[in-house]
Amino acid sequence: MSTPADPRPTGSYPLDALWRPSAILWVALTGIALAAVLTLAPGVGSDRWIYFGLILLVIQWISLLTLGALYLLRRPLSRLRPPRVAYVAVLLLLLGTWLVGSAAWLLMRGIWPEAGDDWPSLMLRLTAIALAVGVLGLAAFRNHWRARQLAVRAKQAELEALQARIRPHFLFNTLNTGAALVHQRPGEAERLLLDLADLFRAALAGPHQVSLEDELALARRYLEIEALRFGERLQVRWELPRDLPPVTVPALSIQPLVENAIRHGVERLPGGEVEVAVSTTSDTVVVRISNPLPRPDGAARPGHQVGLNASQVRIEALTGGRGSVQTQVVGDRFVATVRLPLDASPAL
């Protein structure tokens, strides 16, 4: 199965947080606070409200220019290591400061006292302020990124712990089924072992992303293995669009839900149908896996939830918290719904 060229999950780029409304709001509030500090500093001889308005205008233009430059350069910057991205951001801040400062010196000399001085003196003061802000921002970014990396490592360790809990009964049942087929149907036995190898290869590969098509193909291999074991007891219905959305998903995020549908549904019944459906909305890909409930009163028997927890942790960790896994009982069926953002593939 193919894997995307860039294995980094969505939301793992250091500049992703800057495009969120909350981050832009904080940048604006920081500019207001900086303008207030400069206005209250000793030596401001003109009307402080006018000074506050003018210096705030300059600061906000510098902020917007820097954010705009970072957004326009987001693709080449995504190839750099995070510390280098931070240094580039400081450099763009200085360039924005010089550009806006020069414009202020040319256009506001009559109303802004500081702009009436000589250009080198004004640039020196603005550069000193920009450097101070940039250094503080650089330190904050380093602390934030270090904490983020520690959180990612902790989440990956949790994922690996979940992987280590692969249920051995499936392996034993599959090997027993393969042994029974070796003499009677050797072709099916060979296909079973190849499908089993694909499943365990994906399980042992560690947290990474695959295309939705490949993940569904992995789930199909699992269902083919179980179909050899259950025979006519297992019916599978696929409802897939002609062209699957070109999104990536965390590896082994759909297959464990299909496995749960077998273990907590069909395996406890004389027979049943597992349904796998994929649909899309304007900004979301929805994958639904449903299975019959084993009890006539419509209540699902409690399980160990390892498959569900593994899928939920993978989806949330590798989509930056934008994906989700939800379960519900609809009539006499248990439904697991996976929602993924349409831009789940790395876009930067």
DSSP per position, 48-106: HHHHHHHHHHHHHHHHHHHHHHHHHTHHHHTTS-HHHHHHHHHHHHHHHHHHHHHHHHH
> What pLDDT shows up at residue 210?
84
The reply to whether 348 falls in a domain is: no
Residue 2 placed within a domain? no
Distance CA 252, CA 209 (A): 9
How confident is the model at residue 333, as a pLDDT? 92
Count of all residues that appear for the chain in the document: 348
pLDDT for res 9 = 40
In 164-211, alpha helices (H) = 168-184, 186-204
* Distances 194 to 89, 217, 222, 258 between C-alpha atoms, Å: 50, 13, 11, 19
The pLDDT assigned to 240 comes to 93
Structure tokens given for 61:
């233009």
Domain boundary among 161, 189, 219: 161
Same-domain status, 203 and 64: no
Tell me, yes or no, whether 22 and 141 share the same domain: yes
CA atoms of 326 and 180, how far apart (whole Å): 38
CA of 129: how far to CAs of 13, 66, 89, 125, in Å?
Answer: 28, 15, 15, 6
Based on its alpha-carbon atoms, the radius of gyration of the chain, rounded to whole angstroms, reads 28
pLDDT of amino acid 287: 94
**How much is the pTM?**
0.52
Q: How many Å apart are CA 155 and CA 153, to the nearest integer?
A: 5
In a domain, 346, yes or no: no
299 & 182 share domain: yes
**Residue 8 in domain:** no
C-alpha span between 7 and 10 (Å, rounded)? 9
How far are the Cα atoms of 106, 276, 308, 313, 325 from residue 328, in angstroms, in the given order? 64, 15, 12, 18, 10
7, part of any domain: no
Shared-domain flag, residues 46 and 186: no
Domain assignment present for residue 335? The answer is yes
Give dist(CA 227, CA 223) in Å, integer.
6
128/33 same-domain check: yes
Q: How many CB atoms are closer than 10 A to CB 238?
A: 13
Same domain, 240 and 91: no
Predicted confidence at residue 335, as pLDDT, reads 93
Structural domain harbouring 80: 16-161
Do 207 and 240 have their domain in common?
A: yes
Tens of pLDDT along the chain (348 residues) come to: 333 333 344 344 556 666 677 777 877 788 788 778 877 777 666 677 777 777 788 888 888 888 888 888 877 877 777 777 778 888 888 888 888 878 877 776 666 655 555 667 767 877 888 888 878 877 777 777 777 667 766 766 665 665 555 555 566 667 777 777 777 778 877 878 887 787 777 666 655 788 899 889 888 888 988 888 888 899 999 999 988 888 888 777 888 888 889 888 888 899 899 999 999 988 889 999 999 988 655 444 555 455 576 677 777 766 766 788 888 999 889 999 998 888 654 433
Q: Show the DSSP H helices in the chain as ranges.
A: 21-40, 48-72, 74-77, 82-107, 119-163, 168-184, 186-204, 212-230, 255-263, 306-318
Angle (CA) 77 78 79, round 5°: 90
Asked if residues 268 and 301 have their Cβ atoms less than 8 Å apart, the reply is yes
Residue 197: give its domain's CATH number: 3.30.565.10
- With respect to residue 91, please indicate whether it lies within any of the assigned structural domains: yes
Residues 157 and 169 in one domain: no
Of 123, 142, 161, the domain-final residue: 161
Residues 139 and 280 in one domain: no
- 116 and 186 inside one domain: no
Q: Is 316 helix (H, G, I), strand (E, B) or coil?
A: helix
Q: What is the pLDDT of residue 165?
A: 55
Residue 264: inside a domain, yes or no? yes
Are 209 and 316 within one domain? yes
Q: Where a domain ends, among 161, 190, 225? A: 161
Number of domains in the chain: 2
Shared domain check, 271 and 143: no
